[in-house]
Amino acid sequence: MGSLVSFSAPRVAEIVQEPDAPLSAGEVRVRTLFSGISAGTELTSYRGSNPNLTKTWDATSRLFVEGDSAVSFPMAGFGYEEVGEVIEVAAGVTAPVVGDTIWGTWGHRTTAVLDAEFAAARVLDADADPRVGMFSHIGAIALNVVLDADIHIGETVVVFGLGVPGQLVAQLARLNGARVVAVDGIEARRDLALQLGADVVLDPGSDNVAERVKELTGGRGADVAIEITGNYRALQEAIRSVAYNSRVCVAGFFQGEGAGLSLGEEFHHNRVQIVSSQISGVGASLQHRWDRYRLTSTAIALATSGRLQVIPLITHTVDLADAAGAYQMLDERPREALQVVLDMRGDA
């Protein structure tokens, strides 16, 4: 029997048991080592605020429509930041081999059966810290944002929100040649962003962000602003911060209606472009060259080489048995944590 995290009701996380899946031809079994909790999308499901719980996504029309939702509580095995070790391979499988470390997405569960070809393409370097493997999906999200933002060398980029994806976006924007201004209300996150290469940090609680950005750019404004908080007031300030006819790239998962936006002001008068970035797709101009696998594998390659710093983002590591407390902390006291990791090794 294996164990996994289940959201049995809003704000209720439990550890439940599931039978180990049989191993079929062309498959491997992986024992999960670590699994990261997403404090963004995953928390919307934990809280019960995700629109998929109240509306139905019509894939044909690409609209949310009223009606019975396809998603409901309990939700078992949520999670998309996993790394594990191959412990069994089916007959005839030559790669990966037992002992290989695999990165990918299979939920907060102690074991998983994966397609061998899928796993063989996701073997982590033996010399790498295995925790690096947890950042394939969230790293892909951040990389996709930077691609959508279309940053050029010498430009000023303002990143609103320094949670895990924001910290990654700030680093990637700098690797892309930008001067990075990082904005967050939590001092520890601003300090970490500076340590990881941000050029300037601003506190929205005490700094008038848009005015400071104008000062830093000789009155012009930022070339690009990236919003990754899911906070409508942050989006409004991002709009205010960019130069005339410039871009705001929006990656935050907003919940509910848009209180705090004043779209008749800077957005309207400055011809600001608002671009949505979401991991379900790649921008149209890049689809012939980029796909999900290239995003995830590139993020892992950057992290294993040290060009993208991911281990400093980990603030808490807890046993799987203590998962409920970890979710409660992220929900009720988000200022205390950045990346929270479930250590699955003792529960397999």
Confidence of residue 347 (pLDDT cuts 50, 70, 90): low
Q: Which CATH architecture has domain 2-123+310-343?
A: Alpha-Beta Complex (3.90)
**What residues contact residue 28 under an 8 Å CB cut-off, 6+ apart?**
86, 88, 89, 90, 93, 96, 113, 114, 116, 119
In this prediction, residue 328 carries a pLDDT of: 97
What are the φ/ψ torsions at residue 11 (nearest 5 degrees)? 65, 25
- Per-residue pLDDT tens over the stretch 20-53: 999 999 999 999 999 999 999 999 999 999 999 9
CA distance 309 to 139: 11
Where in the sequence of the chain do the CATH 3.40.50.720 domains occur?
138-285
Contact between 237 and 265 (Cβ < 8 Å)? no
Do 224 and 249 meet the contact criterion of CB atoms below 8 Å apart?
Answer: yes
Closest CA relative to residue 181, chosen from 153, 144, 209: 209
CATH topology of domain 138-285: Rossmann fold (3.40.50)
Task: Say what the pTM is.
Answer: 0.96
> To which H or E segment does residue 269 belong?
helix 266-269
Task: Give the whole-angstrom CA distance, residue 197 versus residue 175.
Answer: 9
Domain(s) of CATH 3.90.180.10: residues in the chain? 2-123+310-343
Q: Say if residue 312 is preceded by a cis peptide, omega within 30 of 0.
A: no
- Render pLDDT for 200-244 as a digit per residue (tens, 0 to 9): 999 999 999 999 999 999 999 999 999 999 999 999 999 999 999
